[in-house]
Amino acid sequence: MASVTFRDVRKAFGTVEVLHGVSVDIDEGQFVVLVGPSGCGKSTLLRMLAGLEHISAGEILIGDRVVNDLPPKDRDIAMVFQNYALYPHITVAQNMAFSLMLKRASKEEIEARVKPAAEILGLTQLLDRYPRQLSGGQRQRVAMGRAIVRDPQVFLFDEPLSNLDAKLRVSMRTEIKNLHQRLKTTTVYVTHDQIEAMTMADKIVVMHDGRVAQVGTPLELYDRPDNLFVAGFIGSPA
Ligand code: ADP
Ligand code: MG
């Protein structure tokens, strides 16, 4: 696992600046939630950390390495998206092994990585199934499995639960937290859902219009919001 640092990061699309100098420090092994209303720049920030979006100004570090110009595959991160498109024509095991197969890992190495990941996620009995034979929650688990087998320094989640029904969302929160307890991998988790942020985060970064409104533990934000935006956002129901 590694720390992550955003130093005065800016992003413009054409002439429109959407991130206006974001600085955030994430410790090794921390579970940090970026939360804020739709359009405030959460996904853009995460995509820049993943290397999927160019940085207009500032620096992003993973560990002590500046990654601004590093291609995604060299960043040692794994991302789980909201629409976790699994490959429909291959099995759960093959979906999980896909990135390893691309790297030409041996059959033994693939098995040695997929098996424990499947066990952690309760997918052992489902490895030979195809995605269409799985429930929504099981598919989400396979998407996480794909990330775990890569054994990355940092996990990135972008609203991974927003396509699931309310009940499943609550149980998947717990599963993701349990996973983090077990692997202790540094995690950056994006959501617009305050409840998700409050229940999952070691540290919350509240974003508003391309800026950081406040950083703190769930309790700090709840007890001592810095400004009306944070008070309103954290205090209001999802
Ligand atoms: P969030 O994930 O918090 O909902 P985004 O990071 O997706 O917000 O978007 C932040 C802002 O950047 C929004 O105003 C959005 O319209 C704009 N934006 C995102 N991606 C692009 C793009 N590829 N081109 C132009 N504008 C974009
Ligand atoms: Mg988004």
Q: Check residue 82 and give its pLDDT.
A: 72
pLDDT at 236: 58
| CA-44 nearest atom, ligand 1 | 6
Using CB distances shorter than 6 Å, the residues near ligand 1 are 13, 18, 36, 38-44
Separation of 11 CA from ligand 1 center, angstroms?
Answer: 10
Long-range CB pairs of 218-227 (<8 Å, 24+ gap) are 222/198
ipTM of the complex, rounded to two decimals: 0.98
Give the pLDDT score at 56. Answer: 98
Per-residue pLDDT of the chain (238 residues; tens, 9 = 90+): 899 999 999 999 999 999 999 999 999 999 999 999 999 999 999 999 999 999 999 999 999 999 999 999 899 999 987 777 799 999 999 999 998 988 889 999 999 999 999 998 899 999 999 999 999 889 989 999 999 999 999 999 999 888 888 888 898 899 899 999 999 999 999 999 999 999 999 999 999 999 999 999 999 999 999 999 999 988 755 4
- The stretches of 51-165 forming alpha helices (DSSP H) are 92-102, 107-121, 136-148
Given this model, what pLDDT does residue 238 score? 46
3-state secondary structure of 89: coil
> What are the C-alpha distances in Å from 213 to residues 68, 76, 113?
24, 29, 40
> Atom 25, ligand 1: which residue's CA is nearest?
13
pLDDT of residue 60: 98
Is 159 in contact with 192 (CB distance < 8 Å)? Answer: yes
Whose C-alpha lies nearest to ligand 1, atom 13?
A: 39
CA distances from 83 to 59, 127, 131 (A): 28, 20, 13
Ligand 2 centroid to residue 116 C-alpha, Å: 31
Taking the CA of 162 as reference, the closest ligand is: 2
Q: Look at the pTM and tell me if it is higher than 0.90.
A: yes
